């Protein structure tokens, strides 16, 4: 039950984050857009590294 609730929250949070990101990109200048895309790529890389580190300890 608890795991199901966690997954529901993760999915809802992801959808909300994507929606906010798309809105922000549509309302920004090209220079701001490039900066947002770079930050997003950096965050994705860091998240992947964290997930790999967590898997390594199992």
The pLDDT of residue 51? 79
Q: How far apart are CA 5 and CA 32, in angstroms?
A: 36
User: What is the predicted pLDDT for the residue at 25?
Assistant: 87
pLDDT level of residue 6 (50, 70, 90 thresholds): confident
pLDDT at 9: 87
**Tokens in use for 3?**
């795991």
- Check pLDDT > 60 for residue 21: yes
pTM of the model: 0.54
- pLDDT at residue 57 greater than cutoff 70: no
- pLDDT band per the 50, 70, 90 thresholds, residue 27: very high
- Judge contact between 36 and 28, C-beta under 8 A: yes
């Amino acid at each position: 039950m608890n795991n199901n609730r966690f997954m529901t929250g993760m999915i809802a949070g992801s959808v909300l984050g994507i929606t906010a990101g798309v809105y922000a990109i549509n309302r920004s200048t090209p220079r701001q857009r490039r900066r947002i895309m770079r930050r997003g790529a950096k965050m994705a890389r860091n998240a992947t590294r964290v997930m790999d580190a967590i898997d390594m300890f199992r």
